[in-house]
Amino acid sequence: MSELFGTLPDGTPVHRWTLERAGVRVRVLSYGGIVQSVEVPDRDGHVADVVLGFADLDGYLAHPEPYLGALVGRYANRIAGGRFPLEGVTYSLAQNNAPNSLHGGERGFDKRVWDVEPVEHGVRLSRVSAHGEEGFPGRLVVSATYTLDESGALRFGYEATTDAPTVVNLTNHSYFDLSGAGSAGGAGGHELRLAASRFTPVDGDLIPTGALDEVAGTRFDFREARKVGSGYDHNLVLDKGVTPAAVEIAELYDPASGRVLTVATTEPGIQLYTGEHLDEPFAPGAGIALETQHFPDSPNRPEFPSTELRPGQTYRSETVYGFSAR
């Protein structure tokens, strides 16, 4: 089901699509590929929205920085100094997270209106990112398919092709509060289990140093479930590496409601962000983002898994958010 959600200042209409299956209801916007809401039951059957979002389009336009629920790209996360080399050419990007480029630049995929078409149990979003858009090389033809499976799990399938060498790293930037979006306690009391034995330490600008440090004995060790707490905006290295099919790597649990979020992905890393920079109408720590991804600054780190895409190749990535209660 689709409906008009609002109109951009230039007159472009924005539509909202509602997906519903197995007791889960998801609302998706054509603007930014945003997941506006995900409604799921708790252990007692009470339904609540578990992702942070705004009730209207004006909210997203007035507060773009948190990337609430958005499809981010062409490159999710940070690129150091807003520059990277590729085949002998250095490309310059917007330093929108000075001195770095973040989530695709000033007007990344999160601020574009996508073409949307229905598919079985979901929607397919698509657009063409022109050569030079936000400084990235290559004409990128990209699609993102959002579907609900028979269990009510939300599946993201990304594909892209290019006519020139480029870099690609796409993710969804939803913030989860399994007690219900806007709950008094926020998400800091949630418990996280994560199959990651290493993480990428960062410098003062949140750029990886290049090391892959062990999580043992550090606050990044979530190999056994424990309370998340606060103060995280870091990439953890998933033990499974890059895989052709999505593998479950994380579980987030809210003891208060009994709601459980599982995360499966093909990606080699996940950014754990506890939302300390969220502001009105949300409080710092109101939600937890679990952004499946390749590592930050990979275009400048040949020792990291590659994010390069060349003509004749197809970029593919899949992430699945599963919902249950106990």
What tens digit of pLDDT does each residue of 237-277 get? 999 999 999 999 999 999 999 999 999 999 999 999 999 99
121 tagged catalytic = no
| 280 burial via Cβ count (<10 Å: 0-12, 13-18, 19+) | exposed
The amino acid at 114:
W
Q: What Cα–Cα distance (Å) separates residue 181 from each residue in 45, 164, 184, 292? A: 17, 42, 9, 21
| 223 burial via Cβ count (<10 Å: 0-12, 13-18, 19+) | middle
291 tagged catalytic = yes
What tens digit of pLDDT does each residue of 194-222 get? 999 999 999 999 999 999 999 999 999 99
Q: Rounded mean pLDDT of the chain?
A: 97
pLDDT recorded at residue 1: 86
Q: Kindly list the domain boundaries of the chain, sorted by start residue.
A: 2-325
Residue 31 DSSP label = B
Is a pLDDT exceeding 90 seen at residue 100? yes
What tens digit of pLDDT does each residue of 81-95 get? 999 999 999 999 999
pLDDT recorded at residue 184: 80
61: left (phi over 0), alpha (psi -120 to 50) or beta: alpha
Q: Pick the catalytic residue: 103, 173, 234, 294?
A: 173
pLDDT recorded at residue 126: 98
This model's pTM is above 0.85: yes
Which of helix, strand or coil describes residue 163? Answer: coil
Q: Which residue has the tokens 């009470």?
A: 46
For the segment(s) 2-325, the CATH number from 2.60.40.10, 2.60.120.330, 3.20.20.80, 2.70.98.10 is 2.70.98.10
Is a pLDDT exceeding 90 seen at residue 279? no
Residue 7 DSSP label = E
Q: pLDDT-derived band of residue 78, with 50, 70 and 90 as boundaries?
A: very high
Q: Pick the catalytic residue: 39, 133, 291, 318?
A: 291
Is a pLDDT exceeding 90 seen at residue 185? no
Q: Taking residues 291-299, what's their average pLDDT? A: 98
What tens digit of pLDDT does each residue of 35-56 get? 999 999 999 999 999 999 999 9
pLDDT recorded at residue 230: 94
Contacts of 54 (CB under 8 A, 6+ apart): 36, 60, 63, 68
